[in-house]
Amino acid sequence: MKGLAAPWLIWALLSACFAALTAIFAKVGVANVNSDFATLIRTVIIVAVLSAILAATGQFQPLASISPRTYLFLALSGLATGASWICYFRALKLGEAARVAPIDKLSTVLVAIFGVAFLGERLSGPNWAGVALIACGALLVAYRG
């Protein structure tokens, strides 16, 4: 049972909770504003909060201490995040949160596939079964029948 209390699991569960709240708050928030502008507002708030956390905890690092490779991949991650947020907010503007969020969470399936394909990670048979169930579950939740 030790694995169930692992720090990564606690943070992942908190992430899931905040992601769920993000969908609900964002759906209400984009009701009367352009979805791209809503994404900008959200991003400014995130930058301000993270800056305050880093300042309060003394976690800022000298920019020169970061390797060019790290900068490259963080920049690519930032571009992917921005594209994801823009698409997500537009989808929330156009669709129901309860249908948009599960499709967005197909990213879990893609992370598993990309992790195996590009990072050399290995998944067992039960892991792949879970990935397939996540995909099927997301599609069933989003299905309007």
The string of pLDDT tens digits covering residues 16-44 is 899 999 999 999 999 999 999 999 999 99
Quick one: 85 and 15 in the same domain? yes
**Which of 8-17, 36-45, 55-64 comes out lowest in average pLDDT?**
8-17
Residue 100 lies in a domain: no
Find out whether 99 and 137 touch, Cβ atoms under 8 Å. Answer: no
pLDDT classification of 145: cutoffs 50, 70, 90: confident
Q: How many separate domains does the chain show?
A: 2
Residue 115 domain boundaries = 105-145
Distance, CA of 97 to CA of 89 (rounded, Å): 10
pLDDT digits (tens, 9 = 90+) for 80-134: 999 999 999 999 999 999 999 999 999 999 999 999 999 999 999 999 999 999 9
Quick one: 7 and 54 in the same domain? yes
Quick one: 82 and 133 in the same domain? no
Residue 22 lies in a domain: yes
Q: What is the pLDDT of residue 138?
A: 93
Quick one: 12 and 50 in the same domain? yes
Q: What is the pLDDT of residue 1?
A: 44
User: With 70 as the cut, is the pLDDT of residue 54 above it?
Assistant: yes
pLDDT classification of 6: cutoffs 50, 70, 90: confident
Quick one: 138 and 115 in the same domain? yes
User: With 90 as the cut, is the pLDDT of residue 57 above it?
Assistant: yes
Q: What is the pLDDT of residue 38?
A: 94
Quick one: 37 and 79 in the same domain? yes
Q: What is the pLDDT of residue 71?
A: 96
Quick one: 88 and 133 in the same domain? no
